[in-house]
Structure formats: structure tokens, C-alpha cells
Amino acid sequence: MKFLEAEFVQGFIRMANDGWEQGWHERNGGNLSYRVKPEEVEYVKEELAAGQWQPIGTTVPGLAGEYFLVTGSGKFFRNVIIKPEDSICMIELDENGEQYRIVWGLINGGRPTSELPSHLMNHEVKKLASGGSHRVIYHAHTTNLIALTFVLPLEDEVFTRELWEMATECPVVFPSGIGVVPWMVPGGRDIAVATSELMKQYDVAVWAHHGIFVSGEDFDVTFGLAHTVEKAAEILVKMLSMQSTKRQTITPAQFRDLAVDFKVILPERFLYEK
Ligand code: 2HA
Ligand code: ZN
């Protein structure tokens, strides 16, 4: 029971359930991973049992020897809270970052998330870019953000600016903006490479006609980021449903004022004149 009582495991389960309750995880949609701290591995060490090494499908040397808690492929977020040992697993990576093995969970068989290459390549990028502070990668099927990928141009500048305008907190919560990945086949190395390229500069990417992909330091910040982006998307969907144009909005000059007071850097490329 110690494994399931560990704070990082409890935090992971709570976040998965929060996503389910938001309606972002129909059936087996979405996936979550957490880069476990050495002291957390130590805490549960006695309950780990190593399975067979398996290829990751990509190479992540920057994560060699690390442990991750991940949702299972084909598993339902809805079930994580009631049967975590069947729905999630902890994996260990080998010393080259080429293979993984399950060390806990998925007791009825199965594999880690189908998006494991995307998760690990993004963990590798964000670990480096954040000096090691980022630990959570989350993918969800956020309804309103997906809807917007049918009507907005698939450009980072447009998604960032339109969502910033929908709620004053947005530029403070995601000042570096949002990257947009065009429609791609999910689960493979190509979408992993395209996403990790964007995540070098952003903490949020949109997968066109598919969902959101976010990175953060802990469960609260990462869930909060997805929640904030999706809330802004919902406001934009509502606004566009009432009227195709805005009567008034937050202006580039007002964003610049906000940046000063809130001590954030808002790249000028998002503050274009319309
Ligand atoms: O089914 O969401 O992107 C899991 C997914 C794949
Ligand atoms: Zn998905």
C-alpha cells in the first residue's frame, strides 16, 4: 500500500481524476506522465519489481536512468482513481535512454501510454530548458481548444493572441505563448519531434483537431495551465458564437502595461496590430 500512499502517486491520481471530471478524457483519451524525484523512487523502492526491457521508439539520453509515472495505453482516465494499479505504471529507463521497463503497476498487462515517445522527448527538452524543474507532461482532449483548431488559422501568433485576449490572467499564466502543431498521426516519433521542437520555447502546444499538450513543474501548475488555456478557449468559442467580431478587447498597449506591472516578458510578435 505504501506505493499508492506516496504523495507523488496521490498527486498523479488526483490530477488524472481532475481531467476526467473536466470532461477531457472520453474513453481512453489523453495521457499523463511525471518524472519521479530520486527521493520519491527511494521511498517506494521496496515495492518495485522490474519487468522486461522494451524499446521506447525513440532515444532520450538526457533521461537515462530516470523513473516516470505514466498512464497506460488504452486505459481510461475514469478508472485511474478506482484501480490505479491496473491503469497506470512506473517505468525505469536504461542507461542509454533507449529502453524502458515497467517496475510497478499495469498488473493486468499492457503498455505505457501510446504517446510515450512524445512524453519522453518533451520531458527531455523541458528538463534541459527548465534546469530540471519541469516534471509533468499532460495531454488532454480539451473540447473548446479543439473546436478552435477548425476556425482559427493554425499559427502560434494567432492562437496566443486570441487566447490572451479572452482573460486578463492568460498572458501572466502563459507569457511565452502557445505553439500549434498541424494535424499529425498521433503516437509516433514525428508528432513527438514536432511537439518537442515547439516546447523548447513554449509550455503549451495545441495539436490541431486533437487536443492540448502541456508541461510544468508540478501537478498543480501543469493542470492549472491546461485549465486556464481551455477556459480561455471556452470564452472565445462563446464570444464567436454570439458575434464574429469583438466590440472591445484588450489592446497591445494594455498588454504592455500588464507586462510591466506583472513582471512578465510578452514577446512583441504576439502584440501585432490587427
Ligand atoms: O488515446 O489521447 O493521443 C490516447 C490519446 C492519444
Ligand atoms: Zn490524444
Tens of pLDDT, residues 182-230: 999 999 899 999 999 999 999 999 999 999 999 999 999 999 999 999 9
Burial class from Cβ neighbours inside 10 Å (0-12, 13-18, 19+) for residue 190 reads middle
pLDDT value for 64: 98
User: Hey, is 214 helix, strand or coil?
Assistant: strand
Q: Which of 93, 99, 113 lies closest to 56, judged by CA?
A: 99
pLDDT tens for 108-147 read 999 999 999 999 999 999 999 999 999 999 999 999 999 9
Pick from 199, 182, 146, 174: which is nearest to 262 by CA? 174
Residue 1 has pLDDT above 60, yes or no: no
Active-site option among 115, 124, 165, 230:
115
Q: What are the extents of the domains in the chain?
A: 1-114, 143-274
* Centroid of ligand 2 to alpha carbon of 218 (angstroms): 21
The domain 143-274: what is its CATH number?
3.40.225.10
What is the number of the ligand closest to the CA of 146?
A: 2
Q: Which ligand is nearest to the CA of 71?
A: 1
Pick from 20, 28, 73 the residue to mutate for probing ligand 1's pocket: most ligand atoms within 8 Å of its CB. 28
| Res 112: pLDDT | 98
Instruction: Tell how far CA 227 is from the center of its chain.
Output: 11
Q: What is the pLDDT of residue 226?
A: 99
**C-alpha grid cell, residue 125:** 527538452
Residues with CB under 6 A from ligand 1: 28-31, 114-115, 139, 186
Contact assessment for residue 219 and residue 14, using Cβ atoms and an 8 Å cutoff: yes
What CATH architecture is 1-114? 3-Layer(aba) Sandwich (3.40)
Distance CA 61, CA 67 (A): 13
- Whole-number Å distance, alpha carbon 157 to ligand 1 midpoint, is 26
Report the atom number in ligand 1 closest to the C-alpha of 113. Answer: 4
Predicted confidence at residue 262, as pLDDT, reads 98
- Separation of 209 CA from ligand 2 center, angstroms? 10
Q: Ligand 2 (ion): which residues have CB within 5 A?
A: 211
By the 10 Å C-beta count (0-12 exposed, 13-18 middle, 19+ buried), 129 is classed as middle
- Catalytic-residue membership of 7: no
Ligand 1 centroid – CA 13 distance (Å): 18
Nearest CA to ligand 1 atom 1: 29
Domains 1-114 and 143-274 share a fold: yes
pLDDT in tens, 18-61: 999 999 999 999 999 999 999 999 999 999 999 999 999 999 99
